[in-house]
Amino acid sequence: MSVATAYFDQLFSDNDDPWAFRQRWYEQRKRALTLAVLTRPHYLSIFEPGCANGELSAALAMRCDRLLCCDTAAAAVALARARLQAFPHVDVQQSRLPQEWPDGSFDLIVLSEWCYYLDHDDLCALLDRAKASLTDDGQVLACHWRGPIEGCPLTAEQVHALLEQQLGMAGQAHLHDKDFLLDLWGHQSASVATLEGLR
């Protein structure tokens, strides 16, 4: 069974940064590496589900024309909206995925540190919706903590193996750190150097 919304409501009930996104070097480093593996300087439309309080979202907002973020916890949505209020091209919604997947198409979907909260069936359903909403040159970025998380149905390794299998897309970047897995898949397999005519 996927982790219930009440779990995330409790996390945010008395803490506006329950994972210490702003303070911990682990989070700052991971965020920098996440942004660094992206093969394009700019995207038309990014979707970031599970945005929490919007720390990664603020960095993604600098790299796109449109950013849609969502979270299942009402407090997280309020915090993200406050964090991102300076960006008029950003929309933050409260929704439970995969059931409430948004309309529209995206050329980047960012799955950062939350897919292991879904069970196998919900993750498969989410990936079906993600594939259907990607543009022809769309990409999926995934980053997940490798340590144990009590109550999570899946591990990082299980999540990324399922992504590799279900997406059926070319691998564009892989960083398997001792602490986390970071992978980028895309419909197009050309490297950054190739796209810039260097190869």
d(CA 89, CA 145) in angstroms, rounded, equals: 29
**What pLDDT is stored for residue 135 in this prediction?**
97
Closest CA to 73 of 24, 15, 28, 20: 15
**Three-state helix/strand/coil letters over 29-60:** HHHHHHHHHCCCCCEEEEEEECCCCCHHHHHH
**What pLDDT is stored for residue 167 in this prediction?**
96
Strand partners, 92: 69
d(CA 67, CA 45) in angstroms, rounded, equals: 6
**What pLDDT is stored for residue 160 in this prediction?**
98
SS3 185: strand
Q: Mean pLDDT by 10-residue block, N- to C-terminus, for the chain (199 residues)? A: 86 78 91 96 97 96 98 94 97 96 97 95 97 97 94 96 96 95 91 78
Closest CA to 160 of 151, 173, 190, 150: 173
Closest CA to 18 of 67, 79, 59, 61: 79
pTM as predicted = 0.95
**What pLDDT is stored for residue 11 in this prediction?**
75
Q: Cα separations (Å) of 137 from 88, 109, 169, 187?
A: 25, 12, 11, 5
**What pLDDT is stored for residue 10 in this prediction?**
87
User: Are 146 and 156 within 8 A, CB to CB?
Assistant: yes
Instruction: Count CA atoms within 13 Å of residue 156 on its CB side.
Output: 19
**What pLDDT is stored for residue 188 in this prediction?**
85
- Which residue segments constitute the domains of the chain, with CATH numbers given? 5-195 (3.40.50.150)
**What pLDDT is stored for residue 129 in this prediction?**
97
d(CA 126, CA 101) in angstroms, rounded, equals: 8
**What pLDDT is stored for residue 162 in this prediction?**
97
Q: In what order do the strands lie in the sheet with 180-186?
A: 90-94, 64-71, 43-49, 106-112, 134-145, 180-186, 170-176
Output the six-digit token pair for 64.
């796109």
